[in-house]
Each structure stands twice: as structure tokens, then as C-alpha cells.
Structure 1
């Protein structure tokens, strides 16, 4: 009797055979749609506020261009008009693509160097003692503080721009990697050593996988810092490039083109961050972001 009762209790909450299973992921999908809706509403409100400021003429159109003026600048910089192709001979997407190439090369090299330095700092205490002050020193320097020195060393071509982006991107990855590697689970490390794993195998098979989420966060921060530094990197001989476009338009008080360049940087930066988030979710699925 007791056996039959226990079986009934176990199966009381179960679905009958052949019944459809409850939908999986519907609450998450609804929450995602709500977030998207809120962001669309917020964007529409900002555009409406922007247009209202223009209508009220609180500032001169030279200082605050209208959305229509920015849209017109987008059309002009994306096509050929009056015999001129785009802006200074390159379209907006070409300016942006050149800046993105610089960011990928420069920030990618800086992130790789930061990963190597961070692993050394996290696994070798004496390396951390030696390198930590230098990494902290570079992390506190604004890019323009050493860009002039890089120009003296490497000239005005691509080299100083790439070096600036690499130096700006290296410290966040190094700090995040060192912290994550140093805090790797001791039990897992000791278990790997107990079964005969060498030091390199422990690092590649245990330490780095456990530190991967923090490392990827450092990479996201590094690319964000590099993107914010690209305008500084392109202040000298920056055309073609989105930072050079903004700098050149500023000289001629073309505020609509300046605002367009800022939008191009911001939107493409959001896309890059979304790609890095997707990479993080794929490589570290146990750590999801909302």
C-alpha cells in the first residue's frame, strides 16, 4: 500500500504520457522583447527631445544640428555629390572600416600581450611584483599623454596609431587575467597536479578555462578603451579614418558631420561589444548576461 501511494505521489505532478511539454524559454523571450521595446521607446524619446531642442532654437544650429541635418550629412558622406566622393574622397563606411581595422590590429595585439603578461603575473609572484607597477602606470595614462612621444619615435603614419591602441588595450586585459589566474580554484589545481599534470598543462587545462569569463571581460574593456582612443590616434594624419573625419569636420564647424561621426563610432562600438558578448556566452556559457 505504501509503495503504491509513494508512486502516486511521485507521478502526481508529472504530465501524462503523450501530453505536450510546457514551453521552454517563453519567459526569457518575453523579457527580451520587453527590454528591446524599452530601448526603442527610450531612443524615440531622445530623438523627440533632440528635435524639440532644435525647434525651440535654444542653441544655434552650428552648435546643435537637427536630426535632418545629420541625416543629410549621412547621405552626402555615403555617396558622390558635386563630383566629390563621400568626405575627402572616402565614404563614411570606408572611414569607419579603416578605423575598425586599426582597432582590430592595435587592440588585438595589446590584448594578446596583456593575456601573456597577465598569465605570468598570476602564476609567478616575482613577475607580478616587477610588472604590476608598470601595468598600473600605463593604465592611468591618458592616450594623448604618450601619443606625441610615439609620433617622435615612429613618425606620422600607421605605426604610432597602432602602438597607441595597443598600449591602451593592454593593461585591462593584463589586470583581469592576473586577477582571474591568481584566484583559480585551488582544489582543481591540486587535483590536476595529483594526477601528474605539468605546470603548463595545469595552466592550459585548469587555470585558463576557470579564468576565461574574467579574461573576456578584460578583452571587452580593452576594445572599449581602444575605441575611445581612436579619435586621439587619428588626430594626426588620421584621414581616412572616422576620428580623422571628426577632427577635420570640427575645423570647419561642420557639427552635423561631427555628430554623424560620433553616431558611427557609438553604433559600431555597440555592435563590437555585442559580438564580444556573444563570444563570451559561447566560450563561457555558464556565465550569461542579461
Structure 2
């Protein structure tokens, strides 16, 4: 009951404070719309009203679905590349020395720093958006996998080799299972970073898309639609993170117990 009551109570408290702030008149309704205005905007962008379908001819769920597809492709590529590079850097010393500075350099860059360059190289269609999300998701997985592989107990590796295991057998049966918990944590972080880069990825030619909807609505000071888009991104992010956490518990049920 407590696990349910506390989040619900905090949400209700937030809504009450939001309503009081909007009703106080401290800021104009354009800057701080009331919850009722945001709800009306949510209904408008989710349905067809006055002959207008959703926002810019696309409903909210369709905007969100298109953005999630971009994140799935981009983050999927970044995660796969991060796992491969992490395994290589964790097991081969010279590979780590060669690539680790570049990955650290890439990890410190904000997405907007190189998005313009991606547009110059790849145009304004889907390619720069997916590439940006892939580049954003790559470093967290690579770093966490590298650290996890490097932290595998040497005694386990030596025992596997003493039992006749080849290099591949050691990686498959010892290194990967030992590194998997931290790698999955890196995957969760990578998806979060991809989500935080979503609006940046859809700054140019982002419609249809939830980030593009937020950017376009902001251009016209349509604050209720901006808030609806932010809430949609946040709620979908919570759901996906919960699914990833559930997957982690299924794949590595021993984590925290040994």
C-alpha cells in the first residue's frame, strides 16, 4: 500500500501546487497554464476536433510512436556497438588504450554540439536523427561494459582456463555472465540518454514526432501542448525503464543475492 500511496500522493500534491500557482496570477497563463488547459490540449492533440486531426495532422500517440521507433533504431545501434566495444576494450588492453579516450571525448559532448555536423553530412531526413541517438547511447554502454569486464574476478578466469576452456569459452561462460548486470545498467542509462536527446534529434524536420511537436509548439508559445509533449516523453520513458528493469531481473536474477 505504501509503494502505491506515496507516488499517488506526491502526484496529487504536485497537481494541487500546480493549480494554486496557475491561479495565483504570478505568471500569465501563457507561461504557466493550468492543469485544465493542459488536459484540454491533451484531448485536442489526441483526437480530431473541428476538422483538425491531432497536432499538425498527427495524433499524440502517432507522434510518440514515430519518436519511439527512432529511439529503438538509434539506441539499438548504439547499445549493440557499445557492448561489442566494451567487450573488446575490457579483454584486449591495446584496444582499450586506443579507443577509451575517444569514447570519453564523445561522452562529454552534448548532442547539440555535433547535430549540426550530422545534418551537413547526412541531410535533414531520418539519418541524422537516428545517428544522433545512436551516438548518444553508445558511450554509457561501452563504459559500463568495459568496467564490468575489467572487474571480472581473475580467479574465475584462471579456473576456467585450468579446466581447459579456450579464450572464447572463457569470454562466453565467465566474462559475459559476470559483466551482464553492469552492462544492463549501462543499457538503461543509454536509453535514458537517448530520451534526453530526443528533442535535440527532432529539432530539424522533426514532425511528425513527439520532440518535433514540442519544438513546433514552443515556436508559437503553445505552452499547453509543450507540457503535454514533455509529460508524454516522461511517462513513456518511465514505462520503458520499468520494462528494462524487469528484463534485468529476469536475465540476472542473482544480482544482489550473491
TM bucket (normalised to shorter chain) is: over 0.9
Contact 1:249/1:257, CA 8 A, preserved across alignment = yes
Q: Give ranges in structure 2 of 5+ residues lacking alignment.
A: none
Q: Distance in 2 between matches of 1:111 and 1:50?
A: 38
In the alignment, the residues of structure 1 paired with residue 18 and residue 89 of structure 2 have an alpha-carbon distance, to the nearest angstrom, of 48
Distance 2:177 2:54 in 1: 46
Q: Indicate whether 1:217 and 2:185 are aligned.
A: yes
| Larger Rg computed on CA atoms | 1
Instruction: Report the alpha carbon displacement of residue 90 of structure 1 after superposing the two structures with TM.
Output: 0.5
Q: Structure 1-normalised TM-score? A: 0.87
Q: In the TM superposition, what whole-angstrom CA distance separates every residue of 1:32-73 from its partner, at most 9, and x where no partner exists?
A: x31221111111100100001111111100000110001001
Counterpart residue number, 1:108: 76
Count of residue pairs the alignment pairs up: 257
Tell me if the contact between 1:281 and 1:288 (Cα under 8 Å) persists in the aligned partners.
no
Query: 2:64 aligns to what SS in structure 1?
Result: helix
User: 1:226 — aligned with what?
Assistant: 194
Match of 2:134 in 1: 166
2:176 maps to 1:208: yes
Task: Report which structure shows greater RCO (CA 8 Å, sep ≥6).
Answer: 2
- 1:72-151 aligned at under 5 Å gives the runs 72-151=40-119
Change beyond 3 A, Cα 1:184–1:241: same
CA contact (8 A) 1:54 1:61 kept: yes
Q: Which runs of 5+ in 1 are unaligned?
A: 1-32
Q: Tell me, what secondary structure is at the counterpart of 2:197?
A: helix
Normalising by structure 2, what TM-score?
A: 0.98
Name the structure 2 match of 1:178.
146
Aligned to 1:241: 209
Residue 287 (structure 1) shift: 2.2
Q: Is 1:95–1:241's contact at 8 Å kept on the other side of the alignment?
A: yes
Contact kept? 1:102, 1:162, Cα under 8 Å: yes
The CA distance in 2 between the partners of 1:133 and 1:215, in whole Å, is 20
Structure 1 runs (4+) greater than 4 angstroms displaced: none
2:224 corresponds to: 256
Distance, in Å, in 2 between the alignment partners of 1:126 and 1:135 is: 14
Matches of 1:268 and 1:288 in 2, distance apart?
Answer: 27
SS of structure 2 residue aligned to 1:171: helix
